[in-house]
Amino acid sequence: MGNRQAQIRLFVEGDLGEIVELSLLAWEPAFESMEKVLRPRIFHLIWPDWKKSQAEGVEGACRATDKYKTLVAELDGRVVGFIG
Protein backbone atom coordinates (compact mmCIF):
# COMPACT_ATOMS: atom_id res chain seq x y z
CA MET A 1 0.00 0.00 0.00
CA GLY A 2 2.95 2.35 0.50
CA ASN A 3 3.37 5.39 2.64
CA ARG A 4 0.64 7.69 1.39
CA GLN A 5 0.11 11.06 3.03
CA ALA A 6 -2.76 13.46 2.66
CA GLN A 7 -1.89 16.89 1.38
CA ILE A 8 -3.30 19.87 3.27
CA ARG A 9 -4.29 22.81 1.10
CA LEU A 10 -6.72 25.70 0.88
CA PHE A 11 -10.31 25.04 -0.19
CA VAL A 12 -11.23 25.65 -3.82
CA GLU A 13 -14.80 25.84 -5.12
CA GLY A 14 -14.50 22.42 -6.78
CA ASP A 15 -14.12 20.83 -3.32
CA LEU A 16 -17.55 21.93 -2.15
CA GLY A 17 -19.49 18.80 -3.11
CA GLU A 18 -17.07 16.47 -1.34
CA ILE A 19 -16.94 18.71 1.73
CA VAL A 20 -20.73 18.81 2.00
CA GLU A 21 -20.87 15.02 1.59
CA LEU A 22 -18.31 14.52 4.39
CA SER A 23 -20.19 16.95 6.61
CA LEU A 24 -23.48 15.11 6.14
CA LEU A 25 -21.81 11.77 6.89
CA ALA A 26 -20.21 13.20 10.02
CA TRP A 27 -23.38 14.81 11.39
CA GLU A 28 -25.85 12.05 10.50
CA PRO A 29 -25.33 10.04 13.73
CA ALA A 30 -25.82 13.19 15.84
CA PHE A 31 -29.06 14.10 14.10
CA GLU A 32 -30.30 10.50 14.29
CA SER A 33 -29.64 10.55 18.02
CA MET A 34 -31.42 13.87 18.46
CA GLU A 35 -34.43 12.55 16.56
CA LYS A 36 -34.63 9.59 18.95
CA VAL A 37 -34.33 11.82 21.99
CA LEU A 38 -36.81 14.45 20.82
CA ARG A 39 -39.08 12.06 18.91
CA PRO A 40 -39.79 12.67 15.21
CA ARG A 41 -42.58 15.23 15.65
CA ILE A 42 -40.52 17.67 17.75
CA PHE A 43 -37.30 16.94 15.87
CA HIS A 44 -38.90 17.85 12.52
CA LEU A 45 -40.32 21.05 13.96
CA ILE A 46 -36.80 22.12 14.88
CA TRP A 47 -35.04 20.67 11.82
CA PRO A 48 -37.55 20.14 9.01
CA ASP A 49 -34.68 19.25 6.66
CA TRP A 50 -31.42 18.99 8.60
CA LYS A 51 -29.45 17.83 5.57
CA LYS A 52 -30.43 20.93 3.60
CA SER A 53 -29.67 23.22 6.55
CA GLN A 54 -26.33 21.52 7.18
CA ALA A 55 -25.34 21.69 3.51
CA GLU A 56 -26.25 25.37 3.31
CA GLY A 57 -24.30 26.16 6.47
CA VAL A 58 -21.18 24.36 5.28
CA GLU A 59 -21.41 25.90 1.82
CA GLY A 60 -21.81 29.37 3.33
CA ALA A 61 -18.84 28.94 5.64
CA CYS A 62 -16.62 27.62 2.85
CA ARG A 63 -17.56 30.48 0.55
CA ALA A 64 -17.17 33.20 3.20
CA THR A 65 -13.46 33.51 2.53
CA ASP A 66 -13.41 37.00 4.02
CA LYS A 67 -14.46 35.53 7.41
CA TYR A 68 -13.20 31.95 7.40
CA LYS A 69 -10.34 29.90 6.09
CA THR A 70 -11.20 26.37 5.02
CA LEU A 71 -8.48 23.78 4.60
CA VAL A 72 -8.93 20.38 3.01
CA ALA A 73 -7.01 17.16 3.31
CA GLU A 74 -6.63 15.54 -0.09
CA LEU A 75 -5.51 11.98 -0.74
CA ASP A 76 -5.26 10.46 -4.20
CA GLY A 77 -7.18 13.39 -5.68
CA ARG A 78 -10.11 13.13 -3.26
CA VAL A 79 -11.06 15.34 -0.33
CA VAL A 80 -10.87 13.12 2.75
CA GLY A 81 -11.23 15.79 5.41
CA PHE A 82 -11.70 19.49 6.02
CA ILE A 83 -11.54 22.11 8.75
CA GLY A 84 -12.85 25.62 8.85
**Containing domain of residue 50, as a range?**
7-83
- 16 within some domain: yes
Q: What is the pLDDT of residues 55-81, one digit of tens each?
A: 999 999 999 999 999 999 999 999 999
Domain total for the chain? 1
Over residues 13-25, the pLDDT tens digits come to 999 999 999 999 9
Inside any domain, residue 19: yes
For residue 35, tell me if it sits in a domain: yes
Q: 51 lies in a domain? A: yes
pTM score of the predicted model: 0.88
CA dihedral 33, 37, 39, 41 (to 10 degrees): -90
Domain contains 25: yes
Closest by Cα among 3, 6, 2, 11 to 80: 6
Pairing of strands 7-10, 78-83: unpaired
- 1 domain-assigned: no
